[in-house]
Amino acid sequence: MVDEYGELHRPQFHFTARKNWINDPNGLVFHDGLWHLFFQHNQDAPTWGRMWWGHAVSRDLFHWQQCENALYPDDMGSMFSGSAVVDHENTAGFGADALLLFYTAYGKHAKPIRPTSQCLAYSTDNGKTWTKYVANPIVGWMEADNRDPKVVWHKSTRRWIMALYLEDDRYCLLSSSDAKTWTRSQEIRLNGDSECPDFFPIADDTGAEKWVFSGAGGSYSVGDFDGKVFVPETPVLQYERGRNGYAAQTWSNAPNNRRIQVSWMAGGRYPEMPFNQQLSVPVELSLAGSGGSVTLNRWPVHELDLLRVRTVSVGRETISKDKPMVAQTDAKLLDVSFKVFRQSAKGFYVVVRGHPIVFDWDAMTLSVETSGKSKMTEDRPFVKLPDTVMLDVRLIIDRTSIEVFLDGGSISASYCFLPDGYVNPLVLHSYSGEQIIEDFELHELVSTWKA
């Protein structure tokens, strides 16, 4: 008999539900020492279908305890994606520090069929129990399948701001003083993206407050927001380059002004497992640069370091066709970082449990052939690499996923995979000339389900 959370393809430090299907992370909020994670969840089957909001809590972003489901389908429909906030000032009248959930009621699963609408639920006991607002919906249907409300507090105007998906690549902003009555204002476009908006403030290198508007596919713009109008300063950029990163959301009310994000690793395959799909590792966001040249960096949160149990370090090694670098480990859970100097080689290969990560130095691209592909991200076959002779690489490796962070987090990419046959779990190859590896560090990680 297999131990719960010990199955063959069960991720060991990425969040998965105890059983059945999950997708988008929802309602991410920190309150009273707990990180709350809600998620799209079909409690009845390991496939997508009718949706509940699953719920889990953690004190360190890795050791999660799954709770009772927070939101259940009702006569308004299925419980689709949304967000959460702490109502510190009791603007909604449910009590100071009440937790507020904003979600889409997807009426196409209701009887009779109703369009989508935006609804509110609240908790006065730090998320143990939830009550749906009696006067739902708080925002009626607008057009198409408008959905996925992301709500944030705008301090200087003392108003709640809701980012909402409309249709195609179109979104809008709404505002409210009480979290119940909303007024629509600006429309925003993110060319080539759709669904699951996020909208949040973050400081740039000068300490100035900027705002980031992003979509489910990882596109984003950085700009200014005065409580009424978002003015982008950058073009539409991309923070997620991999095939399997989708529907990312950031935690609200995080301590020390941290901006922490997690995403659904869409399209992964977990054959004959009791669960289906996983989330990414939480990453901390920061802005590099300022003005129109500012970009978003992503880096695994420092809490991941607490899972390290054994470290292998190599100062410098030259690899070639006849001299690969074989990491001295038998572990499957790894946090690996190194610098690679490409020299005159045409390609560089990191083989993870029989699965190749290919750095093509001629084309300056990275590619990972994945076991699972999402129709929402299938147009991301390659990652464009910076044209430098030295590249910083960090790989976060779980049983069925590889997350790549390059150049200090300026480039990141998420992949799901199934291992192939192998002798050594991690091997670095160069088939066309020498390459130099420096500052190699491999950290074996412990399972969060056992630690």
- Decide if 412 is inside a domain: yes
Closest C-alpha to 407, from 298, 292, 259, 294: 298
Whether pTM exceeds 0.75:
yes
339 plus 211 within the same structural domain: no
d(CA 186, CA 188): 6
For tokens 């980012």, the residue is 163
**Residues assigned a catalytic role:** 24
Q: Which of 15-19, 178-182, 205-209, 230-234 has the lowest mean pLDDT?
A: 205-209
30 plus 161 within the same structural domain: yes
Using the 3D structure, point to which of 286, 303, 320 is the last residue of a domain. 303
> 391 lies in which domain range?
307-445
Higher pLDDT pick, 372 / 197:
197
The β-bridge partners of 44 are none
The total of structural domains in the chain comes to 2
Per-residue pLDDT band for 291 (boundaries 50, 70, 90) equals: confident
Tens digit of pLDDT for each residue in 35-76?
999 999 999 999 999 999 999 999 999 999 999 999 999 999
What the block records as the tokens of 433 is: 């000339």
Residues 206-220 have a mean pLDDT of 96
26 φ, ψ (degrees, to nearest 5): -130, 160
193 plus 154 within the same structural domain: yes
Tens digit of pLDDT for each residue in 125-139?
999 999 999 999 999
Tens digit of pLDDT for each residue in 417-426?
999 999 999 9
CATH of the domain at 103: 2.115.10.20
419 preceded by a cis bond (ω within 30 of 0): no
Instruction: State the chain's mean pLDDT as an integer.
Output: 94
Burial code (b: 16+ CB inside 10 Å, e: under 16) for 10-47 equals bbbbbbbbeebbbbbbbbbbbbeeebbbbbbbbbeebe
